[in-house]
A and B are shown apart, each in its own frame.
Chain A
């Protein structure tokens, strides 16, 4: 059994436990918002290095500054490493090993990456006083033995950016289920918005089909856990699980609310072009990932159309289900602590400082990604996630599906949407769709 499989099982149980403890954690929530109280001598002098693969980490650098207010003599530095996947292992063993380093869930699955976690500090140690309860259920990762070695910093999800001004101008409410979704699209079409929904016509996770139908597909699978094994094994009979989601795509395109051809013509890639096209101001809803949202802030003043006619926009999950949309929670970035750090106490102190709603929210707002906590108040773009129903929120890991299933689904969706295959054909060819 791979580490990942092990974890997925644990996560489900952790989720249910944390649902219960989450309620009990309300009291602790209050503690979390309290002013940070340094536990070490504030005149400690040391240098801490954070290594990662982001070439720029301004949101972290802003936290360095905030931490200096308590520990002015500590020096924190972020180092962007080349070929991170390969070099981090060596780096951790070198004389210049980082004190904090970026980790990802896939590393848990990879035997080669084992040293990364062998060197990781157990952050759930009660002696460290780190408040893990501030992390929402879907973003928590715990080892089988209950140890926490990686802490989520940012999460992302999949959904759509909504041009609120268009909705307001046309007296429309953002749809909450598939029925409303189609009604709203019909109204928008009537109002002259030829294709009310757009996105990148591609097979990536940032592509439009992934945010449109993948969470819906996950929900189907979670309702029928018996299929997980065969889906993961690329058993062609398991393709049937994709049917509801693929039919939604087909139905939506047939209704004329999504035009893959037009999207290909007008949107060249799944990131920059998607954002710039959205800023043109005439697209009511733009499908994409949380990464797309994170890129909006820096591009607002690069879009002449947006500068000339700025508008209000927000992120929503796509209401593909009959009773609403599904929030697929996905951690974007974790931090682990090097337990061999020369300045382990101060490193843990920094992590304790960082693991608070305020600091995580602040970082997420700067990066414009989703905070791993439940407090979405710091960035209005994500305000629709505030109080999102727990039963419709889950992490990909909770589905138990592996990356291959993910890819197969993306390929099937793309092919059905672009008329390369019918729904039935795609289902039949499950296991051979990804090229």
Chain B
């Protein structure tokens, strides 16, 4: 579980952070969106109220202007009334009199009174003032001023404003407006009264000055007055053109409809127009008609910005909130990063722990398998060699226990592999019958041993060859069957295999497998725990039953990986049915036939194992970096009389491979410097060698399933797991050794006549009995011990060399080998120390290595020194039987060796050294020959000329 948690933390950490950032942004966005919406609403409301206020101001201005205009009109009307009353009273005024009256009545010098004679086509009249450029001339003419097109439009009603457009006062050239009324005056020529137009003429600037004071709270407001056609009476600086509508058209480019609509709006009521001014800036024009006059309209112009100023606060608020949220976000992000960092560290630690666990498991596999190799291998020897019934019985127990142990280890390894996600489903074509055969064969015996009936019900139409992961399917079924056997004490176990065709896919079938038992069953409440790793149901009751509690969990996991699932039906106390449905490819539709019959026949023909053959003519090569393993291998095949060459490294193996023809070659996978696969590849790349057709079998403690395919794909012909199963080994040899070399088994027995020298018993650091037990007898122990000694010095130097170069990997491999071999010979103290240092090396604990590797090397070398007596004894023993070589022959031999060395013909050097071994040597030459032999053994051929020179 930690593993998953750690992965989630590391793998999911980034995802999680991204998600949180995204959520943060969404929340921030929503808040900002809300604020903007709110601000916009407020702004709109505020704008609306600003516009409303502006419109109110416009209306106020309009009232003031109207009042002013009405007042002015009223003054004009007073003049008119006075003149008209004279006429009404029968004494109409002459034009001169009327103008004279007005001259007196008016107060302001800026205001002119014009009396225009309507009967004059030139629209002349008399003014209260002379012309500016004609000091004595009071006449005035409107001939060239287009002002009186529509006299009917001038109201005769009192109080109604009759106003001209802005025009140039012909008397003074000043832009003016005039209020009008009709008067009756005396025509002096005819003596009749006639109608004339009275005008109260005022400079526009007077009106403009009044409008300036209407601005109120709006500093930049400009008041304009326009007539129905848009012509200005007065206009502010911003409104260009002489006509407002033309101005609007020029700078806002409305289409004709829009233009008409706008002019209609402005001349029909009050309202506000948003438009662009001549600079392209937004502006607001509020309009309203002048009351009591339907011909003039007041426009109040204001830059749009002046109305929107009060919204600044909202933007400020928004800015501050955004900034605050950004700060909060950054703060959150930093905290998140900090936590993430801590979590990542924790996750990494967990991962490291998990990796350590996996490493521990695989190391355990290897470490357990190595001694198991020895245990089971040697136990096989005991089984075969012992004639004592009791010993055989014990030995059988050892074998069973050993196999159980291996099964448990396999479970743990598989489980760790599944957890690490490294379990792959590898589909291959397989024979369904053959698979059933294997697994039923295995379980049936167990069932029968327990007194249970084992029933088979296999559909005879199941296709012969299917495509799927045979190994995994087998593993699943084995787990279910084993479980059934384990938890069933009486009754039967029934295995059913059937299938269904898939409608749409003729190249696949749905395999239906079920196993029913009459076992103890499962309580409903325990069901969900069934597939949980390390859970054992009713632990108290089933304590005697072996198992890790992983079997069902592994089976379920594997089925899940294959797209299936294990179903369970169970009745507590009565039994259970485990079943699954699995989609499998079909390679050969031929039905398997009556499997039960076939199986029965197979069983009846099965024979108990016995030594099946001898092959004295056959020769094998075994390459393993662990001398002890080589020794065990030799022992296992001792009775077959097969000739065995051993090599302690890949390179050594390759030399032998070039030189001698073998029937089968066995290569250990894990070796330092050059591992089994590298060695194989190098061997296969050598052209022109005697072994190009020799099968090469991989030896491996790496028993994790799925490895077979890997080894075969790497180029091995076969593979064999350690501890080596003798039956499998011999079956394999029978398969590969040419038939002509196979002979009938030998009947004679070989006794272990070897004795162990007494001095070994005195060595404190050596547990001789344990060593003999490990090696399977005195002889093999002595052989193993000698091998240990022969390779020891060089091995110690190498460890030192790797360590000095701080090559931790190779140091660890070497220490690992030392651990195994030291333990095999019974040097437990050294073995344990090596084990500690191996672990230190694997975990990269350099400090421990630094502290203790010196002790290891000194212990190792001390042991080798103690064991050196053994060599001497052996040499003496050997020497006794050998003829003493003459100085001449020896000299001759050295010369030839030197020549071969010069010619790099080391094979011949080896041959000579081997032939020299048949002789004993004079005392003074013994050491030199030993050195030569050692040099040859260690492939240090370049040392040979030096050795010869020194001695020669």
- Interface positions of A (Cβ within 8 A of B): 55-56, 58, 61-62, 65, 75, 77, 79-97, 115
CA A65 – CA B237 in complex, angstroms? 11
Closest residue to A85 on the B side, CB-wise?
B144
Determine if B802 is an interface residue (Cβ-Cβ < 8 Å): no
Report chain B residues within 8 Å CB of A82: 144-147, 167-168, 170
Q: Known A55-B242, A80-B242; judge A94-B170 contact (CB<8 A).
A: no
- Contact B237–A90 (Cβ < 8 Å): no
Q: How far is the CA of A55 from the CA of B242 in the complex (A)?
A: 6
Q: Does B262 contact A (CB under 8 A)?
A: no
CA distance A246 to B132 in the complex (A): 48
CA distance A92 to B173 in the complex (A): 8
B542 → A minimal CB distance (Å): 100
> Bound complex: CA of A81 vs CA of B174, how far in Å?
9
Q: Give the residues from 221 to 250 in chain B that come closer than 8 angstroms, CB to CB, to chain A.
A: 237, 240-243, 246, 250
Separation of A87 and B132 alpha carbons in the complex (Å) = 10
Q: Which residues of B contact A87 (CB under 8 A)?
A: 168-170, 173
Taking a contact as CB atoms under 8 Å apart, the answer to whether B173 and A81 are in contact is yes
B915 within 8 A of A: no
Contact call A115/B133, Cβ cutoff below 8 A? yes
| Inter-chain contacts of A81 with B (CB < 8 A) | 168, 173, 175
10 contacts between A and B (CB under 8 A): A58-B241, A61-B278, A65-B278, A79-B175, A80-B242, A82-B168, A86-B170, A89-B173, A93-B133, A96-B173
Bound-complex Cα distance A172 to B312 (A): 64
Q: Are A83 and B133 in contact (CB under 8 A)?
A: no
Say whether B279 faces chain A, with CB atoms less than 8 Å apart. yes
B170 touches A90 (CB 8 A): yes
Assess the A83–B172 pair: CB atoms within 8 A.
no
Bound form: Cα–Cα A88–B133 in Å:
10
Top-6 shortest CB links A-B = A91-B173, A90-B173, A83-B144, A90-B132, A82-B168, A87-B173
Contact in complex: A96, B205 (CB < 8 Å): yes
Of the candidates B133, B167, B173, B205, the one having the most CB atoms from chain A within 10 angstroms of its own CB is B173
- A65-B278, A90-B171 known; 10 new pairs, CB 8 Å cut-off, are A61-B240, A62-B278, A81-B173, A82-B168, A83-B168, A84-B168, A90-B173, A96-B174, A96-B203, A96-B205
B131 touches A (CB below 8 Å): yes
Min CB distance B132 to A, Å, is 4
Quick check: B144 and A86 within 8 Å, CB to CB?
A: yes
What is the chain B residue whose CB lies nearest that of A62?
B278
Q: Mark B275-295, 1 if CB is under 8 A from A, else 0.
A: 000110000000000000000
Minimum CB–CB distance from A277 to chain B (whole Å) comes to: 23
- A91 with B174: in contact, given A82-B167, A96-B203 (CB under 8 Å)? yes
Residues on the A chain within 8 Å of B168, using CB: 81-84, 87, 91
CB-defined contacts of B243 to chain A, threshold 8 Å: 56
**Cβ-closest chain B residue relative to A98:** B173
Contact residue among A75, A77, A80, A94 (Cβ-Cβ distance under 8 Å from B173): A94
Q: Could you tell me if A93 and B241 are in contact, using CB atoms closer than 8 angstroms?
A: no
Contacts of B205 in A (CB 8 A): 96
Q: Out of B132, B167, B170, which one reaches A93, CB within 8 Å? A: B132
Smallest CB separation, B714 vs chain A (Å): 84
**Across the two chains, which residue of chain A brings its CB closest to B203?**
A96
Contact of A65 among B143, B250, B279 (CB under 8 A): B279
Q: Are B131 and A90 in contact (CB under 8 A)?
A: yes
- The residue on A at minimum CB distance from B133 is A89
A56 touching B146 by the CB < 8 A rule?
no
Find the B residue at minimum CB distance from A75: B237
Instruction: Give the distance in Å from the alpha carbon of A75 to the alpha carbon of B131 in the complex.
Output: 29
Partner of B237, one of A56, A77, A83, A96: A77
B279 to chain A: which residues have CB within 8 Å?
65
Q: Closest residue to A91 on the B side, CB-wise?
A: B173
Residues in A whose Cβ lies below 8 Å from that of B170: 82-83, 86-87, 90
Kindly report which residue of chain B lies nearest to residue A64, judged by CB atoms: B240
A302 to B171 CA separation, bound complex (whole angstroms): 40
Q: State the CA gap A84–B133 with chains docked (Å).
A: 14
With A86-B144, A96-B205, A115-B133 already in contact, the answer to whether A91 and B172 are too (CB < 8 A) is yes
CA–CA, A58 to B242, complex, Å?
Answer: 9
Q: Kindly identify, within residues 369 to 421 of chain B, every residue whose CB is under 8 Å from any CB belonging to chain A.
A: none
Select from chain B the residue with minimum beta-carbon distance to A112.
B133
Q: Which residues of B contact A85 (CB under 8 A)?
A: 144
Q: Which residues of the other chain, B, contact A56 by a CB distance below 8 angstroms? A: 241-243, 246
Alpha-carbon gap, A259 to B375, bound state (A): 133
Q: What is the CB-to-nearest-CB distance from A161 to chain B, in angstroms, rounded to a whole number?
A: 24
Interface string of B898-931 (1 = CB under 8 A from A): 0000000000000000000000000000000000
Max chain A C-beta neighbours (<10 A), residue from B133, B170, B205, B278:
B133
> Shortest Cβ distance from B679 into chain A, in angstroms?
90
Instruction: Out of A62, A65, A90, A115, name the residue touching B172 (CB < 8 Å).
Output: A90
Choose one: B169, B173, B241, B246; the contact of A88 (CB below 8 Å).
Answer: B173
Instruction: Pick from B146, B172, B243 the residue with the most CB of A within 10 Å.
Output: B172
For residue A183, give the distance in angstroms from its CB to the closest CB of chain B: 44
B224 to chain A, nearest CB (A): 13
Bound Cα distance A56, B247 (Å):
10
Q: Mark B110-133, 1 if CB is under 8 A from A, else 0.
A: 000000000000000000000111
For the complex, give the distance between the alpha carbons of A82 and B203 in Å.
14
B232 nearest CB neighbor, chain A only? A80
Cα distance, A82 to B173, chains bound together (Å): 9
CB distance from A363 to the nearest CB of B (A): 14
Whole-angstrom CA separation of A84 from B167 in the bound complex: 11
Nearest-neighbour CB distance to chain B for A350, whole angstroms, equals 15
Complex-state Cα separation, A294 to B250, whole angstroms: 17
Q: From A81, A85, A87, A89, name the one whose CB has the most chain B CB atoms within 10 angstroms.
A: A87
CB distance from B243 to the nearest CB of A (A): 7
A359 → B minimal CB distance (Å) = 17
Minimum CB–CB distance from A302 to chain B (whole Å) comes to 11
- Are B133 and A90 closer than 8 Å at their CB atoms? yes
Closest residue of chain B to A95 (Cβ to Cβ) is: B174
Considering the chains assembled together, what is the distance between the CA atoms of A84 and B205 in angstroms? 19
Chain A nearest CB from B426 CB (Å) reads 79
**C-alpha spacing A139/B240, complex, angstroms:** 29
Residues of B within 8 A of A55 (CB): 242
In the complex, what residues of B have CB within 8 A of residue A86's CB?
144, 170
Residues of A within 8 A of B172 (CB): 90-91, 93-94
B236 to chain A: closest CB distance in Å?
10
Q: Which residue of A lies closest to B279 (CB)?
A: A65
Residues from chain A with Cβ under 8 Å of B167 in the complex = 82
